[in-house]
Amino acid sequence: MKNVKCKVSLILSISLITSFIGVNGSQVMAQTKDYTKAITRVSNPIINFKDKNLEQAVRDALSKPTGDLYKTDLAQIAKLTINKNVEDISGIENLTNLESLDIENTSMGLLSDLTPLKGLNRLESLTITNNKISDLSPLSELTNLQTLNLSNNEICNVTSLENLTNLKTLNLKNNELKDISDLKNLSNLISLDLGWNRSLSDVSVLSALKNLESLNLNCTNLYDISALQGLINLKNLNLCGNRISDTSALLGLNKLQDVNLSSNSIRTLGCIGTLSNLQSLDLGTNYITDVSSLKGLKNLKNLYLGWNDITDVSQLDGMAELQVLNLYSTKIQNIELSNLPNLQSLNLEAISTLNNVSLDGLLNLQSVNMSGSTISGKLTLHNLPNLTSLVLGKM
């Protein structure tokens, strides 16, 4: 009997111990799960954005319209495009694999602080236009950047860009630049746009940028372009709206295909007639009287000579590739063109001095505009089978 009681007590004791261990085991497991979740929350936190347009762009990139945004989510984004105004980009520093960022406003925005971009070292392309940016220091270590577009901002200092030597395309149009000497190290630049920086008069640093193929300096304050003299790889050059009178620096730039020298102070064409690969040339609104030196431009397709004091263009007859000829508001008296086989568009608007006009055998001519002009003599239009638009002036 005594043995039976001992056995029962032992069984009860074992049962109690087992129950106790089971309960505490469940608690330990639950605590472990909570601890794991806590660690996960620390290593993969929820990211919040102050700017709702930025958040929406992130959600669009992830195809995640609702729900929490985690740091691991954001690490999946390599390209982000924002077409709405963004005033605060805080939070974007969590897009650690971002390679391309485009914030291109159609109207003026208020974004000024680029600090959140500071550590995004994978960025290769950055566009932030039409904002209030003036401080570029957060970009100083983004050495993988190849394309940078900061047009239409308030930038006056480019010192922070001096080490971005992988840049190939740089657009700083319409800012407040006066000194660009810190661009001297950017020898890999292929395209540079500095247009509409109206206080920029010294561009001597450009002589160091030998790989440039496209250069825009329109509407700055230039009169001296000697720095361009050795840029032998230039193909596209825009110098519109300056104070340039001497174009001799262009001599030898034989790869040039598109040149805009309109709205300057040019009287003589000098070396321009030697640029044999030119396809488009705009010399409108200058003080040019003689265009005979252009007759050697055998590859020229588009020629704009409006608002000059030109009286004779007979030397241009025979330019076989010419497709567009604009003589708006010149002082031409007689025009006789019969050897421009590819001419498609002829503008003779606002010419008060026209006497005789003879257009014969221009087989590809499609459009002739003489509105606002007065023709005092004879108008001859013969053998123009493709002419579809003819606007006449007073006769």
CATH number of 67's domain: 3.80.10.10
Give the predicted TM-score (pTM) of the model. 0.88
Report yes or no on 154 lying in a domain: yes
The pLDDT, as a whole number, for residue 40 is 54
Query: CA neighbours within 13 Å on the CB side: how many for 79?
Result: 2
User: Which helix (H) or strand (E) is 389 found in, with range?
Assistant: strand 389-391
Q: How far apart are CA 197 and CA 114, in angstroms?
A: 22
Who's near 380: CB < 8 A, 6+ residues apart? 356, 357, 358, 359, 360
With the CA atoms of 287, 289, 294 and 295 taken in that order, what torsion angle do they form, in degrees rounded to the nearest 10?
A: 160
The pLDDT, as a whole number, for residue 264 is 98
- Residue found by looking up tokens 């005979």 in the block: 292
Mean pLDDT of the chain: 92
Q: How far apart are CA 102 and CA 121, in angstroms?
A: 16
The pLDDT, as a whole number, for residue 4 is 41
Please name the residue ranges forming H helices in the chain: 2-43, 52-62, 71-74
Report yes or no on 173 lying in a domain: yes
* 191 CB neighbour count, 10 Å cutoff: 18
CB distance 136 to 114 below 8 Å? yes
One-letter amino acid at 118 equals: K
Report yes or no on 26 lying in a domain: no
> What are the respective helix, strand and coil percentages of the chain, to the nearest 5?
25, 15, 60
Report yes or no on 300 lying in a domain: no
Q: How far apart are CA 126 and CA 137, in angstroms?
A: 14
Tokens describing residue 168: 């190939």
Closest CA to 155 of 143, 166, 167, 171: 171
- Residue found by looking up tokens 């890999």 in the block: 188
The pLDDT, as a whole number, for residue 26 is 58
Closest CA to 335 of 308, 354, 307: 354
Report yes or no on 69 lying in a domain: yes
Report yes or no on 184 lying in a domain: yes
The pLDDT, as a whole number, for residue 1 is 47
* Total tally of structural domains belonging to the chain: 1
Residues of the chain with pLDDT under 50: 1-21, 23, 28, 32, 36-38
* Domain housing 133: 45-195
Report yes or no on 215 lying in a domain: no
Report yes or no on 278 lying in a domain: no
